[in-house]
């Protein structure tokens, strides 16, 4: 289950940077009610080199791991 949540978090982050480039407000509007929204939003503080280590910690911090 945790792998599924982690993959979904990475997917949302990927969409933000790759599909919604220059349209970030649309991404926020689309996902503001998503269970991973706050987690992914906080992940923006980390660059791509750090995110592999930080995303699982952020998921745990927000109590989303099961």
Q: For 21-37, what is each residue's pLDDT tens digit?
A: 889 999 999 999 999 99
- At residue 52's C-alpha, the angle toward residues 48 and 55, to 5°, is 100
Closest C-alpha to 44, from 63, 3, 31, 66: 31
| Residue with token string 């289950």 | 1
pLDDT at 47 over 80: yes
**Domain residue ranges of the chain, discontinuous segments joined by +:** 2-61
The whole-model pTM stands at 0.85
Task: For residue 48, name the pLDDT band (cuts at 50, 70, 90).
Answer: confident
CA terminus-to-terminus distance, the chain: 7
Residue 38 in this model has a pLDDT that exceeds 90? yes
Task: Note the maximum CA span of the chain.
Answer: 34
């Amino acid at each position: 289950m945790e792998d599924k949540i982690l993959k979904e978090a990475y997917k949302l982050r990927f969409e933000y940077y790759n599909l919604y480039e220059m349209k970030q407000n649309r991404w926020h509007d689309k996902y503001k009610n998503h269970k991973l929204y706050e987690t992914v939003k906080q992940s923006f503080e980390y660059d791509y080199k750090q995110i592999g280590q930080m995303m699982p910690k952020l998921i745990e911090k927000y109590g989303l791991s099961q």
